[in-house]
Amino acid sequence: MLEELKKQVCRANIELVSSGLVVYTWGNVSEISSDRRYVVIKPSGVDYSVMTPEDMVVVDLQSGETVEGPWRPSSDTPTHLELYRRFPRIGGVTHTHSIHAVVFAQAGMDIPALGTTHADYFYGPVPCTRSLTEQEVQEAYEQNTGKVICETLAECGYDVLSVPGIVVRHHGPFTWGKDGASSVYHAVVLEKVAEMALKTLQLNPQATMPQFILDKHYHRKHGPGAYYGQKK
């Protein structure tokens, strides 16, 4: 089971490169095993061009200890683990430093829902977290990054899969989904809607979208009466 999961996670990480979301080693994807005991994640600082499934690192969800793999896991592993522990419906997590999403993170701004492309995937603004305190950064930076993501989602009252992404202030985007591949998909979409929002606000800083349009577009793809696409 874990060997197949390593292959899936390796493919998902490589897709970050082919999608243009990362340069050098600026990103990581993880996925949790079906029994929710182990998380497979990209190794820290290993170049995507030479990465193989055998390089993936297996981490125990509860202890955070490496149980398999030749390398140290991504430095963002504690953030991923915090999300898996808090939200049992999350099956995969992606982190990037994609340009337009990072712009909103650095500005400390939510990515507003301004059009139907956004509404097709995110049922509301993509939130930006608060800044971490100096103590939070010094004590357990990556774990506290996960905690501030969870805190922000709780404050917004969001269903975790209806808005499958966030921007961490001063840092960048994290996205998630039912598995690693879907978390990458949401990372690609998040970057595109961030670019659209930025350019829209440059043309019209007062731009908005009515709630009924957001409702229509989100629910036609994800609601109980969804009719977008083909029946399985």
Q: Which of 189, 175, 190, 16 is nearest to 103 (CA)?
A: 190
Among 47, 159, 215, 228, the active-site one is 228
Q: 3 in helix, strand or coil?
A: helix
Measured distance CA(140)–CA(82) in Å, rounded = 12
Which entry of 35, 120, 123, 218 is annotated as an active-site residue? 120
Tokens of 3: 């060997």
Residue carrying the six token digits 């010094």 = 138
- 168: three-class secondary structure by DSSP: strand
Catalytic annotation present for 215: no
How far apart (Å, rounded) are the C-alpha atoms in residues 167 and 169?
Answer: 6
Element (H, E) at 136: helix 134-156
Is 38 catalytic? The answer is: no
Active site residues: 120, 228
